[in-house]
Amino acid sequence: MPVYKRQDISKLHAEIKQGATSQIYLIWGERYLCRSAAQELIDHLLPEQERQATSLQHIDGDQEDFSKTLNLLKTFNLFSGPKIIWVTDSKLFYSKGVAKSIWDKACEKKERNETKQALRYLLQMFNVAGISQEDRDEENIGSMSAARWKNLFGFNKPQGDLSWVQDLLADSAGMSPAKSSETDAASMFVQAYESGIPQDNTLILLAETIDKRKRLYKYIQEHGVILDLAVDSGGSAAAKRDQETVLKELIQNTLRKYDKEIEPKTLPVFLERVGFHPVAAVMEAEKLALYVADRKTITRDDIDAIIGRTREEALYELTESVTSGKLDQGLLILDHLQNNGVHGLAILATLRNHIKKLLLVRSLQGLKSPAYTQSLSFPVFQKSYLPELKEGRDEWSTLLWKAHPYGLFMTFRQAAQFRCEDLQDGLKEVLAAEYRMKSSSVDSRLIMDNLLFSLMRHKMVGAKPV
């Protein structure tokens, strides 16, 4: 059967209305899109809402016992009619081939200070590698050797401080990965379908990342239905266009439900402020629709009133003010962040990550080949210096390959203002503030204000280019 894309969803629904259904569906890709598509699919398979209470069973893949799911799939429905088993975050398509993708997602969530989501991805990666909770307790994941990391996860161990991994794992009690004694549960599902399951039973699997080499994927491709909702999360122009297309569709579909529309010139402002966060885009669109009341068109004034600067933008402005020595501006932004409920530890994490990136870049600038000079123009940086720097340095992939070239160019120029020793001192100041915040009764606002004064008073800011 063909693999359906986002633009084919209505076609799939039309086929279902005509009676062309399947016993197994795989929906994979962006998390919010997958869940929305799954709910729409269920509404078409079970159009009578009252039947969903008795004929639909939801299973959380993070806590799934594969053998129990198989038993449900093989068992006839207690009530007459169809039975649908809906598994979110399925691990049936995981392998070492997708471990790197899962790690990248964990790092992304960690950068955004979304620790629970970061931990969820870490546990998924350990599940792929077959690492039990007992193994995690006995071995410090962050300090394991590069060879063992590569053997377990199938990709090179990332450079830098990985102590945050162990810190998150310390809070993972009761969050063990899927429970199963089977080494290849996916093959068991294929065998079950080949042997035959009750005709009215349907399995819907949701996954963010998959290995298409899996036997189960190939079986579904031949005998079931696959809905590919993956969205390129990179920073390339093509990826940005893909992300923008998805957000525009979500926003316009949401506003259409309220019989509203948005000014064409205002839509880019909306997209810029929300960023690629589908859930946030839908929620903000709903708030705007309710805010304008009887008016049909949403304007820039409405955007300014409802969707202020995102937390990410404010945190970015804080890091910029710190490294440029603008104390008054930094204190003002810090006050706004804390008044809006952003925890001090989240702000500390952002500052720590920013200084660490500057330190890494400043270290790279010390290489004799390729040699970095502040006189490098952006075209030379992009076409000559950066490709040479990337060569043979796979361990820097997150920094050098995924960042936008111009953004990286500006980071290099900013880092050149400091000495490595000054940046290291800055990291020590942040660590000391974090220790005080976690171990003392001093108000976190006082600790954060003191940190900004400490960072800006001498070495960390205002250093002369080296």
Scored b (16 or more CB within 10 A) or e, 79-100 reads eeebbbbbbbbbbbbbebbbbb
What domains, with CATH codes, occur in the chain?
3-91+181-229 (3.40.50.300), 96-158 (no CATH), 237-306 (1.10.8.60), 311-457 (1.20.272.10)
Q: Where do the DSSP E strands lie in 238-346?
A: 261-262, 297-298
| Contact criterion met (CB below 8 Å) for 452 and 334 | yes
Mean pLDDT by 10 residues, the chain (466 residues): 88 93 94 93 85 84 84 85 90 76 81 78 77 67 77 79 78 50 70 91 92 88 94 77 91 94 91 80 91 92 75 75 81 76 80 89 88 86 86 64 77 88 90 83 84 74 44
What's residue 379's pLDDT? 85
| Cβ burial, residue 367 (10 Å; 0-12/13-18/19+) | exposed
What's residue 168's pLDDT? 80
Measured CA to CA, the distance from residue 100 to residue 438 in angstroms comes to 32
Q: Positive or negative, the Cα torsion across 27, 33, 39, 45?
A: negative
Instruction: Name the pTM for this structure.
Output: 0.57
End-to-end CA distance of the chain: 61
What's residue 136's pLDDT? 65
What's residue 181's pLDDT? 38
Measured CA to CA, the distance from residue 141 to residue 305 in angstroms comes to 46
What's residue 63's pLDDT? 79
DSSP 418: S
| Cβ burial, residue 442 (10 Å; 0-12/13-18/19+) | exposed
